[in-house]
Amino acid sequence: MTELKPLVIGDLVVEKPVIQGGMGVGISLHRLAGAVAKAGGAGIISSAQIGFREPDFQKNVVEANLRAIGREMKLSMGIAPVGVICFNIMLATRRYDLWVKEAVKSGADIIISGAGLPVTLPEHVEAAYHEMEREPKRRVKLAPIVSSAKSAMVICKMWDRKFHVAPDLFVVEGPLAGGHLGFSREQLSEYGADTTDVPATYDWETFDKEVRGIIQVVKEYGAKYRCHIPVVTAGGIYTHEDVLHQFGLGAEGVQVGTRFVTTEECDASQAYKEAYIKASKEDIVVTKSPVGMPGRAILNPFLSRIKNGNRPSIKACYQCLEKCDIKTIPYCITTALVNAAIGDVDNALLFCGSNAFRTKKIETVDNVIKELMGELV
């Protein structure tokens, strides 16, 4: 058995080098994040419309979300008092700066940010520390999500020039990931990642080359700042063999989403979990999200109606996206994702990874991590 070393991010150590995927709305909250952290991995709370269960959510979206960030962090720490808890915060969301600052104030160990290049992330973190009475003993670690060596280079250069800092960690999200994807539809086609038989058509070799290129860029900036910046890879990682493959490329950890959805501890509804278990390979499709990015999801009655041009009525705006025109979007993504979280799966956007069809049962977080680590015989 190959022993996998802990993921070391400066003065922060993740004993099991597995970061759970940040899945919103309401899929990865305190129960899942806390369970992953307790098992030795890094648990992630998704900030996306995190306050959707608050009684005043429809009237006071911002206040409800801010309250929920603090509450979910506190509850997750109750499950794993010494575990590593992170927040996933999408750049494309409105009030991005507020979510970042509240995550810092709540005590997040890591902020992972994508859905665009988070060039202003360090600025918002410093603003949070300025507003706090005192800075914590250990500063929050900052982890941009990238999908190419070019985007990694842009982040490094801009953070270097504007803030004189380097990222603490990079998350490299590949074309097989779930939810919003950092690729154009054309790029997904080039990788063979948008077919009905992705396992047979995906070009592993080409993206593996990209991963190696990203790691080289990161090494160069680590050398400049006299620090080591680890790289974690994500997308399509399902088995221990997949983990070993990523470590062979030079990754020091993996991020996994799909495997954790069908766990007892996942915050998603039972109906959402069962949708994964029932899905076939052909049911997993790439669709266009109102965010403006391609997204991978399960084909269900909701997506079929959208595909046929049947636009659901939009009764309210939840101020979720920085760029959103209620008159032209095909559907409200908040409503569609909240429906998924509460179990109204026929009227929901069911985000998933490319391997969702492989899930056959409900597992425990502990067993998933042990399997990924190669600890189960």
The domain limits of the chain are 7-266+360-373, 272-347
Q: Cα(374)–Cα(377) distance, rounded to whole angstroms?
A: 8
Tell me whether residue 377 is exposed, middle or buried, using C-beta atoms within 10 angstroms of its C-beta: 0 to 12, 13 to 18, 19 or more. exposed
Give the phi and the psi of residue 262 in degrees, each rounded to 5: -90, 50
Q: Looking at domain 7-266+360-373, what is its CATH homologous superfamily?
A: Aldolase class I (3.20.20.70)
pLDDT on residue 314: 77
Q: Are 28 and 21 in contact (CB under 8 A)?
A: yes
pLDDT on residue 1: 55
Query: What is the model's pTM?
Result: 0.94
Task: Give percent helix, percent strand, percent coil of the chain, each to the nearest 5.
Answer: 40, 15, 45
Number of Cα atoms under 13 Å in the Cβ half of residue 242 = 20
Instruction: Extract the tokens encoding 226.
Output: 């006299």
For 96, the enclosing helix (H) or strand (E) is helix 96-106
Tell me the pLDDT of the chain (377 aa) as tens digits: 578 999 999 999 999 999 999 998 999 999 999 999 999 999 999 999 999 999 999 899 999 999 999 999 999 999 999 999 999 999 988 899 999 999 999 999 999 999 889 999 999 999 999 999 777 888 999 999 999 999 999 999 999 999 999 999 999 999 999 998 989 999 999 999 999 899 899 999 999 999 999 999 999 999 989 999 999 999 999 999 999 999 999 999 999 999 999 999 999 999 999 999 999 999 999 998 887 789 999 999 999 999 888 887 777 777 777 677 777 788 888 899 999 999 999 999 999 999 999 999 999 999 999 999 999 86
Is the alpha carbon torsion for 190, 194, 196, 202 positive or negative? positive
